[in-house]
Chain A
Amino acid sequence: DAKTTQPPSMDCAEGRAANLPCNHSTISGNEYVYWYRQIHSQGPQYIIHGLKNNETNEMASLIITEDRKSSTLILPHATLRDTAVYYCIVTPSGSARQLTFGSGTQLTVLP
Protein backbone atom coordinates (compact mmCIF):
# COMPACT_ATOMS: atom_id res chain seq x y z
CA ASP A 1 0.00 0.00 0.00
CA ALA A 2 1.16 3.53 -0.72
CA LYS A 3 2.49 5.49 2.23
CA THR A 4 0.50 8.46 3.49
CA THR A 5 1.65 11.56 5.34
CA GLN A 6 -0.63 13.59 7.58
CA PRO A 7 0.01 16.43 10.02
CA PRO A 8 0.02 15.09 13.59
CA SER A 9 -2.51 17.58 14.90
CA MET A 10 -4.89 20.35 13.89
CA ASP A 11 -7.34 22.63 15.64
CA CYS A 12 -10.60 23.93 14.24
CA ALA A 13 -13.21 26.30 15.62
CA GLU A 14 -16.65 24.84 16.16
CA GLY A 15 -18.95 25.61 13.24
CA ARG A 16 -16.09 26.23 10.84
CA ALA A 17 -14.92 23.90 8.10
CA ALA A 18 -12.15 21.49 9.02
CA ASN A 19 -9.77 20.73 6.17
CA LEU A 20 -7.53 17.74 6.79
CA PRO A 21 -4.74 17.18 4.28
CA CYS A 22 -3.11 13.91 3.27
CA ASN A 23 -0.13 13.34 1.04
CA HIS A 24 0.08 10.08 -0.90
CA SER A 25 2.59 10.86 -3.61
CA THR A 26 3.39 7.20 -4.36
CA ILE A 27 -0.22 6.19 -4.96
CA SER A 28 -0.72 3.83 -7.88
CA GLY A 29 -3.52 3.76 -10.41
CA ASN A 30 -5.65 1.10 -8.75
CA GLU A 31 -5.43 2.47 -5.22
CA TYR A 32 -8.30 4.17 -3.48
CA VAL A 33 -8.08 6.84 -0.80
CA TYR A 34 -10.03 6.00 2.35
CA TRP A 35 -10.70 8.16 5.38
CA TYR A 36 -11.59 6.81 8.80
CA ARG A 37 -11.74 8.49 12.18
CA GLN A 38 -11.36 7.17 15.70
CA ILE A 39 -12.97 8.86 18.62
CA HIS A 40 -11.19 8.16 21.86
CA SER A 41 -11.56 4.55 23.05
CA GLN A 42 -13.82 3.55 20.18
CA GLY A 43 -13.32 1.55 17.01
CA PRO A 44 -12.58 3.44 13.79
CA GLN A 45 -15.52 4.84 11.85
CA TYR A 46 -15.65 4.90 8.07
CA ILE A 47 -16.05 8.39 6.62
CA ILE A 48 -15.58 8.36 2.87
CA HIS A 49 -13.46 6.97 0.07
CA GLY A 50 -12.63 7.83 -3.53
CA LEU A 51 -10.49 6.97 -6.53
CA LYS A 52 -10.01 10.15 -8.52
CA ASN A 53 -13.25 12.08 -8.53
CA ASN A 54 -14.29 14.27 -5.65
CA GLU A 55 -16.80 12.60 -3.37
CA THR A 56 -19.38 13.89 -0.92
CA ASN A 57 -21.62 12.18 1.57
CA GLU A 58 -23.56 13.19 4.65
CA MET A 59 -20.44 13.28 6.77
CA ALA A 60 -17.78 14.91 4.62
CA SER A 61 -16.32 15.78 1.26
CA LEU A 62 -13.19 14.30 -0.24
CA ILE A 63 -11.16 16.35 -2.65
CA ILE A 64 -8.49 14.45 -4.59
CA THR A 65 -5.98 16.40 -6.67
CA GLU A 66 -5.82 15.73 -10.37
CA ASP A 67 -2.47 13.97 -10.08
CA ARG A 68 -3.89 11.98 -7.11
CA LYS A 69 -0.81 12.66 -5.04
CA SER A 70 -2.74 14.35 -2.28
CA SER A 71 -6.24 14.73 -0.94
CA THR A 72 -8.21 16.79 1.56
CA LEU A 73 -11.01 15.67 3.80
CA ILE A 74 -13.47 18.46 4.51
CA LEU A 75 -15.86 18.49 7.43
CA PRO A 76 -18.06 21.42 6.41
CA HIS A 77 -19.31 22.46 9.84
CA ALA A 78 -17.19 20.93 12.56
CA THR A 79 -18.77 20.15 15.92
CA LEU A 80 -17.21 19.18 19.22
CA ARG A 81 -18.16 15.57 18.48
CA ASP A 82 -15.86 15.62 15.46
CA THR A 83 -12.83 15.71 17.76
CA ALA A 84 -10.99 12.50 16.86
CA VAL A 85 -7.95 11.04 15.16
CA TYR A 86 -8.45 11.04 11.39
CA TYR A 87 -6.71 8.42 9.31
CA CYS A 88 -6.02 8.67 5.58
CA ILE A 89 -5.42 5.21 4.09
CA VAL A 90 -4.52 4.18 0.56
CA THR A 91 -5.38 0.66 -0.46
CA PRO A 92 -5.81 -1.29 -3.68
CA SER A 93 -9.22 -2.13 -4.97
CA GLY A 94 -10.69 -5.53 -5.72
CA SER A 95 -9.56 -7.46 -2.68
CA ALA A 96 -10.54 -7.96 0.91
CA ARG A 97 -7.28 -6.56 2.16
CA GLN A 98 -6.68 -5.30 5.62
CA LEU A 99 -6.27 -1.57 6.17
CA THR A 100 -2.87 -0.26 7.26
CA PHE A 101 -3.19 2.62 9.69
CA GLY A 102 -0.61 5.37 9.97
CA SER A 103 -0.39 7.81 12.82
CA GLY A 104 -3.26 10.02 11.60
CA THR A 105 -4.19 13.59 12.47
CA GLN A 106 -5.59 14.49 15.87
CA LEU A 107 -8.32 17.02 15.11
CA THR A 108 -9.47 19.07 18.06
CA VAL A 109 -12.60 21.13 17.58
CA LEU A 110 -12.57 24.10 19.91
CA PRO A 111 -15.70 25.74 21.33
Chain B
Amino acid sequence: GAVVSQHPSRVICKSGTSVKIECRSLDFQATTMFWYRQFPKQSLMLMATSNEGSKATYEQGVEKDKFLINHASLTLSTLTVTSAHPEDSSFYICSAREGRGNTEAFFGQGTRLTVV
Protein backbone atom coordinates (compact mmCIF):
# COMPACT_ATOMS: atom_id res chain seq x y z
CA GLY B 1 0.00 0.00 0.00
CA ALA B 2 0.84 3.65 -0.12
CA VAL B 3 3.36 5.01 2.35
CA VAL B 4 2.95 7.94 4.69
CA SER B 5 6.09 9.01 6.49
CA GLN B 6 5.99 11.02 9.68
CA HIS B 7 8.98 12.73 11.27
CA PRO B 8 10.21 12.79 13.95
CA SER B 9 9.02 9.59 15.60
CA ARG B 10 9.88 10.89 19.06
CA VAL B 11 10.58 14.36 20.38
CA ILE B 12 11.15 15.81 23.81
CA CYS B 13 10.91 19.54 24.20
CA LYS B 14 10.91 22.08 26.97
CA SER B 15 7.74 23.77 28.07
CA GLY B 16 7.15 26.97 26.14
CA THR B 17 8.98 25.92 22.99
CA SER B 18 7.49 24.95 19.62
CA VAL B 19 7.72 21.63 17.84
CA LYS B 20 7.13 20.87 14.17
CA ILE B 21 5.96 17.48 12.96
CA GLU B 22 6.13 16.57 9.27
CA CYS B 23 3.83 14.23 7.38
CA ARG B 24 4.75 13.14 3.87
CA SER B 25 2.98 10.96 1.35
CA LEU B 26 5.87 9.21 -0.35
CA ASP B 27 4.33 7.64 -3.42
CA PHE B 28 1.04 9.37 -3.96
CA GLN B 29 -0.47 12.83 -3.95
CA ALA B 30 -2.74 13.66 -1.07
CA THR B 31 -4.96 16.68 -1.45
CA THR B 32 -6.21 16.07 2.07
CA MET B 33 -4.34 14.99 5.16
CA PHE B 34 -5.68 14.48 8.65
CA TRP B 35 -4.07 15.04 12.02
CA TYR B 36 -5.04 12.95 15.02
CA ARG B 37 -4.02 12.96 18.66
CA GLN B 38 -4.04 9.95 20.94
CA PHE B 39 -3.67 10.01 24.70
CA PRO B 40 -2.62 6.87 26.61
CA LYS B 41 -5.22 4.10 26.57
CA GLN B 42 -7.56 6.19 24.45
CA SER B 43 -8.60 6.10 20.83
CA LEU B 44 -7.50 8.45 18.09
CA MET B 45 -9.19 11.83 18.11
CA LEU B 46 -9.28 13.95 14.99
CA MET B 47 -7.70 17.35 15.49
CA ALA B 48 -7.85 18.91 12.05
CA THR B 49 -8.15 18.33 8.36
CA SER B 50 -5.34 19.72 6.26
CA ASN B 51 -6.13 20.81 2.72
CA GLU B 52 -3.42 21.56 0.19
CA GLY B 53 -3.33 25.22 -0.66
CA SER B 54 -6.02 26.31 1.77
CA LYS B 55 -6.62 26.78 5.47
CA ALA B 56 -6.98 23.76 7.68
CA THR B 57 -10.30 22.86 9.27
CA TYR B 58 -10.09 22.32 13.01
CA GLU B 59 -12.32 20.18 15.17
CA GLN B 60 -14.24 21.75 17.98
CA GLY B 61 -12.07 22.39 21.00
CA VAL B 62 -8.78 22.37 19.09
CA GLU B 63 -7.00 25.72 19.19
CA LYS B 64 -5.93 26.71 15.70
CA ASP B 65 -3.40 29.23 17.00
CA LYS B 66 -1.73 26.58 19.10
CA PHE B 67 -1.70 23.80 16.53
CA LEU B 68 -0.54 25.39 13.29
CA ILE B 69 -1.07 23.34 10.18
CA ASN B 70 0.54 24.00 6.83
CA HIS B 71 -0.16 21.90 3.75
CA ALA B 72 2.08 23.56 1.21
CA SER B 73 2.29 20.76 -1.32
CA LEU B 74 0.44 17.62 -2.37
CA THR B 75 2.92 15.47 -0.47
CA LEU B 76 3.68 17.42 2.70
CA SER B 77 1.69 18.66 5.66
CA THR B 78 3.20 20.00 8.87
CA LEU B 79 1.79 20.37 12.36
CA THR B 80 3.48 22.86 14.67
CA VAL B 81 2.67 22.72 18.35
CA THR B 82 3.37 26.23 19.58
CA SER B 83 4.26 27.14 23.15
CA ALA B 84 4.02 23.53 24.15
CA HIS B 85 2.95 22.58 27.66
CA PRO B 86 3.10 19.22 29.47
CA GLU B 87 -0.60 18.63 28.75
CA ASP B 88 0.25 18.66 25.02
CA SER B 89 2.31 15.51 25.55
CA SER B 90 0.62 12.93 23.36
CA PHE B 91 0.94 10.65 20.34
CA TYR B 92 0.30 12.65 17.15
CA ILE B 93 -0.63 10.75 13.99
CA CYS B 94 -1.25 11.93 10.45
CA SER B 95 -3.08 10.18 7.66
CA ALA B 96 -3.66 10.80 3.99
CA ARG B 97 -6.02 9.55 1.34
CA GLU B 98 -5.16 9.33 -2.31
CA GLY B 99 -7.66 11.13 -4.51
CA ARG B 100 -11.25 11.75 -3.53
CA GLY B 101 -12.80 8.34 -4.11
CA ASN B 102 -13.53 5.69 -1.54
CA THR B 103 -9.92 4.73 -1.09
CA GLU B 104 -8.38 3.65 2.16
CA ALA B 105 -6.49 6.10 4.32
CA PHE B 106 -2.86 5.47 5.13
CA PHE B 107 -1.31 6.50 8.39
CA GLY B 108 2.08 7.70 9.43
CA GLN B 109 3.94 5.90 12.18
CA GLY B 110 3.10 8.60 14.69
CA THR B 111 5.11 11.09 16.73
CA ARG B 112 5.47 10.74 20.47
CA LEU B 113 5.71 14.25 21.91
CA THR B 114 6.86 14.71 25.48
CA VAL B 115 6.89 18.21 26.91
CA VAL B 116 8.98 18.61 30.05
Residues of A within 8 A of B (CB): 32, 34, 36, 38, 41-46, 49, 87, 93-96, 98-104
Ordered nearest first, which 7 A-B pairs have the shortest CB separation?
A43-B107, A93-B102, A101-B44, A96-B32, A46-B104, A101-B43, A43-B110
Q: Number of residues in B with C-beta < 8 Å to the partner?
A: 28
Q: Which one, B13-21, B62-70, B89-97, is touching chain A?
A: B89-97
Q: Check if B104 sits within 8 Å of A44, measured CB to CB.
A: no
Residue B49 lies at the interface, judged by CB distance under 8 Å to chain A:
yes
Q: Which residues of B contact A (CB under 8 A)?
A: 1, 4, 6, 31-32, 34, 36, 43-46, 49, 91, 93, 95, 97, 99-102, 104-110, 112
| B102: chain A residues within 8 A (beta carbon) | 32, 93-94
Q: Which residue of A lies closest to B31 (CB)?
A: A96
Complex interface: chain A residues within 8 A of B93 (CB): 43-44
Q: Is the contact region of chain A dominated by helix, strand, or loop, or is it mixed?
A: loop
Q: A41-B110, A43-B6, A46-B1 are in contact. Are A96 and B44 (CB under 8 A)?
A: no
28 contacting pairs across A/B (C-beta < 8 A): A34-B104, A36-B107, A38-B44, A41-B91, A41-B110, A42-B109, A43-B93, A43-B108, A43-B109, A43-B110, A44-B93, A45-B107, A46-B1, A46-B104, A46-B105, A46-B107, A49-B104, A87-B43, A93-B101, A93-B102, A94-B100, A96-B97, A98-B34, A98-B95, A99-B34, A101-B43, A102-B43, A103-B43
Residues in chain B near residue A94, CB distance under 8 A: 100-102
- Once bound together, how far apart are the Cα atoms of A44 and B105, in whole Å? 9
Q: Which residues of A contact B44 (CB under 8 A)?
A: 38, 44, 101
- CA of A28 to CA of B63, assembled, Å: 33
* Residues of chain B with a CB closer than 8 A to A49's CB: 104
